[in-house]
Every structure is written in C-alpha cells, then in structure tokens.
Copies of this chain bind each other. A is one copy, B any other.
Amino acid sequence: MLEIRQLRYVQAVGEELHFGRAAARLHIAQPALSRQIQRIEQQTGAALFVRTQRKVELTAAGALMLERSRSILRELEQLEQDVRRAGKGELGRLTIGFIHSSTYGLLPRTLQRFRDLYPDVELELREMSIADQATALARDDIDVGLTRPARYAPGIETLSIMEEAFVVAVPAYHPLASSASTPLARLSNEPFILFPRASSPLFNASILRMCETAGFTPQAIQTATQVHTVVGLVSAGMGVAIVPVTAKNMQVSGVAFLRIQENPPPVSVVLAWRTSRETPSLRAFRAIAFKVGEEFMATQARTRRGGDVC
C-alpha cells in the first residue's frame, strides 16, 4: 500500500521537477528521495518521472499521481484538523430535547451563545415532554435534554441549572393585582387553573402540596398543560394560577404576577444526559447552559422587586 510519505515525495518532485530542490523542501537528502520515488515506480510498475539528464518531467501516470496525491494530502490534513476540533468539542452534532416552557428563557440564550462559540457543531432541536425526553435519553435518541427533575433510567445524569420560584398569576383587574406578594391562603376561595396530573405531574404535585401546606385545596376550574396556555386563561379572567416565574417572560398582557410569601420550594430546570455518551460538545453545551442559568436567576432576582404587571 502507498504511504503518505510517498505521496508527499511525489508531490514535491512533481512540483519542483528537480530532485535536489524537492529533497531540500522535504528536509531530506536527495538520495533518499530518489530511492523512494524508485520504490513507488517499482511498486506500481509505472514510470512517474522521465529523468533526462538536466531535467525531470512528469509522465501521464506521474501527473495523475501528483494531482490525486495533492487531493489526498489535503483531505488528510483536513481530517487531522477536524479530529482535533472534534476532540475539543468544536465540531460535531448535538441533539437537544427541550420542554416547551424553556423557550421562554434559557434555551434561546444558551443556543445563541453556543452557536457563537462552536459554530461548527450542528444542533438539532426537538421539543418533547419531560417523559418523552426520559425515554429518548435512554434510547440515545437525544444527546441532552433541557427538562425537569424526574425519574430517569440508571446511567442518566442530571445537572440543575436553574431554580425557578413559583409565582401567583392573577388577572390585571383582580383585587390582588397591585400587590407585589401574597400569602397563599389568600387564594383559598379563588377559582384555580391547574396543571393536569397526568401530563404535568411535577407542577401538579408541587402546587397541590404548597396549597395543602397553606391549609386549603385549590378549586380547579380548568386545567392546561402548557404554562403559556395557563397564563392565557388567567389573562382571560378565568381564574388564578401558580406558575414558574419564567412565565413573566411570555408576552401576555392583562396578567399580574405576585411573589408567594411562604416561599414554597422552587422547581428546577435540569440538563439530563447519558453518562456514557458524554462528548466534548455536550460538555461545552452543559457549561454554557449552566452559566446562562446562573445569569438568568440573577436577572430574575433583580426584577422581582418591582411591580409585576405586564
């Protein structure tokens, strides 16, 4: 089989058309070069160069080999560089699962920053439920999920990147709308828009638990899966709701958000991935998402103080 060295030598001689100069360019002595070329010619049975004393010329086979050698050498160089970049996570492909609500906060900012830093990593985005992400991770359908804490199969690792407090959403005309905060008990007789237990078990359970702690059971007048829908229903005056604070980022008017005085436990946004599928790109994505999460929480802590009518 031909060796890379031989291609390099053919290229040098083919371009210089002079064994001495070609050898100098290759940082080897001329006899070594002569012998290598001879060896190729012997291996292939094809004369590559016509050495008339005083000048060297390419044969047809030589010209063919010169051209193709150039191309292979280029590819090889590109390969080495790409492997190097892939090793640093600058090259590759990342399939990201995400829950719908993350598009109102973390995800766009994370993607933007990631694309800036790693423009040659191909990103594939898939909106999927928390449960779907769990199975997709287990089946290796996605590389990483931007999701919520849940029961994941063994071998799936998670990292919490943001804690979202819950807030109360009330219609703008509601008596509470001008307050910055409220105790939960104040809502005991309000009609509630809740998350359905089946499709949003985490939110459903968290909210029921905090109301229970406050001493009442919320009166469900309606349920909706998407945070966006819930807030929409509130704005339509159907009732009040307890939603994660990112809901403020949605462009929905006619809704006021109030801090909950009991400070119930927040809900996390987590990254989830298979430990065994940890790639450099994934590591990079994780680091960026984590950073963005931190910044995001800092921002929200600041804005929380002001009045919150959108």
Contacts and interface: CB of A to CB of B under 8 A. Distances in A.
Interface of A: 1-5, 43-48, 50, 52, 57, 59-61, 64-65, 68-69, 71-72, 75-77, 79-80, 82-84, 86-88, 91-93, 276, 279-281
A86 B61 contact: yes
A92 B48 CA distance: 13
9 contacts: A43-B80, A45-B88, A46-B83, A46-B280, A60-B86, A60-B281, A64-B92, A65-B86, A72-B76
A61 B61 CA distance: 36
Nearest to A89: B60
A279 B47 CA distance: 10
Given A4-B3, A76-B72, A87 B57 contact: no
Question: Helix, strand, loop or mixed for chain A's interface?
Answer: helix
Contacts of A87: 44-47, 61
A247 B112 CA distance: 78
A84 to B, nearest CB: 5
B276 A2 contact: no
A283 to B, nearest CB: 11
A275 to B, nearest CB: 11
Contacts of A84: 44-46
Contact of A1 (B75, B77, B279): B77
A79 B83 contact: no
Given A59-B279, A60-B280, A280-B60, A83 B1 contact: no
B79 A72 contact: yes
Q: Lowest 6 CB-CB distances: which A-B pairs, in order?
A: A46-B87, A61-B86, A60-B279, A44-B83, A61-B87, A68-B79
B76 A64 contact: no
A92 B2 contact: no
B83 A65 contact: yes
A3 B1 contact: no
A283 B145 CA distance: 66
Given A64-B91, A83-B64, A76 B279 contact: no
A248 to B, nearest CB: 37
A87 to B, nearest CB: 2
Given A72-B76, A92-B60, A280-B60, A86 B1 contact: no
A94 to B, nearest CB: 9
Contacts of A76: 1-2, 72
Contacts of A1: 4, 76-77, 80
A57 B281 contact: no
Contacts of A77: 1
Contacts of A86: 46, 60-61, 64-65
